[in-house]
Structure 1
Amino acid sequence: MASHEIVITADERPSREELLTLYDAVGWTSYTTDPDALEAAVDGSTRVVTARYDGDLLGLARVLSDGASVAYLQDVLVRPELQREGVGRALVQAAMEPFAHVRQQVLLTDDEPGQRSFYESLGYAEIRDHGDGRLRAFVRFLGPSAVAAD
């Protein structure tokens, strides 16, 4: 009997239906309200890494990067029933592997305590905790009405 294991694959683009199911499973409905934009975001990513079991999509991580000075880790998702099982760590490591030489490795995430400990365990630090405090981070979120006005 063949053993089943979680398979991590780089540079795979899941189907629209798989993406919607995964993003819905983790409650990221701001992505699933616009399936075209979600699919375009994943398709436009520099690197996409997936986790599958028996062909089913269990997790995904994606990176946007210029390959030289900055790599932005975006969208690390793992189905809730598999969180805290090492899948997220494996996804992040596989997603960031080609960018190990890149000086700025950046991510933006919500303020949930588990997020902080997870990313700190991977070597990330909050901007306010980094170095001598001379770094700043800025972000601008545009709502649907602001995007439509462009």
Structure 2
Amino acid sequence: MNIHYSENQTLNAENVKALYEDAQWTLYTKDMPRLMQAIDQSLSVITAWDRDRLVGLIRVVGDGLTIIYIQDIIVLREYQKEGIGSELMKQILAKYSDVRQKVLLTDDAPDVRQFYEKNNFRSCDQGELVAFVQLNNH
């Protein structure tokens, strides 16, 4: 495995669809033009590649000065537990090290919680913060 990372690279919709569907994020892939536009309009996108295969992606939205929101971090299942997600997180956090608020919203599962806590994120259910969200599931 020879993983290399690229920032703000133009992405092929087929590669993106394969990555998101591997994670079973099918609400995204039901409208691929919309997903591709969302990726294109992101503040920053860092991708992980095994030769010419897209194996991971992290994307950030926000103003890049006072807040970033890590919208997606995703690694193909067969490449998980290889440090790719941590490297993507490390690169994005280094790029926005001056930003005070770094936010993300994710499913609550033990392995997910462990990953984010390992990367110095605190859950809003533990501490003085509170988080609210309104989702449209269509």
Same fold (TM > 0.5): yes
- State TM-score, norm by structure 1: 0.87
* Aligned with residue 13 of structure 2, among 16, 22, 27: 16
In the TM superposition, structure 1's runs of 4+ consecutive aligned residues that sit over 4 Å from their partners are none
* Aligned with residue 53 of structure 2, among 56, 61, 65: 56
Aligned length: 138
- Structure 1 counterpart of 2:9, which letter? E
| Residue 91 of structure 2 corresponds to residue 94 of structure 1 | yes
Distance in 1 of aligned mates of 2:136 and 2:78 = 32
- Structure 1 counterpart of 2:48, which letter? A
| Residue 67 of structure 2 corresponds to residue 70 of structure 1 | yes
| Residue 123 of structure 2 corresponds to residue 129 of structure 1 | no
Which structure: larger Rg? 1
Q: What SS class does the counterpart of residue 73 from structure 2 fall into?
A: strand
Listed as ranges, the gaps of 5+ residues in structure 1 are 145-150
In the TM superposition, what is the alpha-carbon distance from 1:19 to its structure 2 partner?
A: 0.6
- After superposition, what is the alpha-carbon deviation per residue over 1:77-123, rounded to whole angstroms, capped at 9, x for unaligned? 10001111100001111123221111100000011211100000000
Of residues 113-122 and 93-102 in structure 1, the stretch that sits farther from structure 2 once superposed is 93-102
- Structure 2 counterpart of 1:139, which letter? V
Q: 1:10 touches 1:95 (CA, 8 Å); kept in 2?
A: no
Report the counterpart of residue 143 of structure 1 in structure 2: 137
Q: What is the RMSD computed on CA atoms of the aligned residues?
A: 1.2
- Structure 1 counterpart of 2:113, which letter? R
| Residue 38 of structure 2 corresponds to residue 41 of structure 1 | yes
Of residues 89-98 and 99-108 in structure 1, the stretch that sits farther from structure 2 once superposed is 89-98
Of residues 7-16 and 46-55 in structure 1, the stretch that sits farther from structure 2 once superposed is 7-16
Listed as ranges, the gaps of 5+ residues in structure 2 are none
Distance in 2 of aligned mates of 1:22 and 1:57 = 7
Distance in 1 of aligned mates of 2:137 and 2:79 = 31
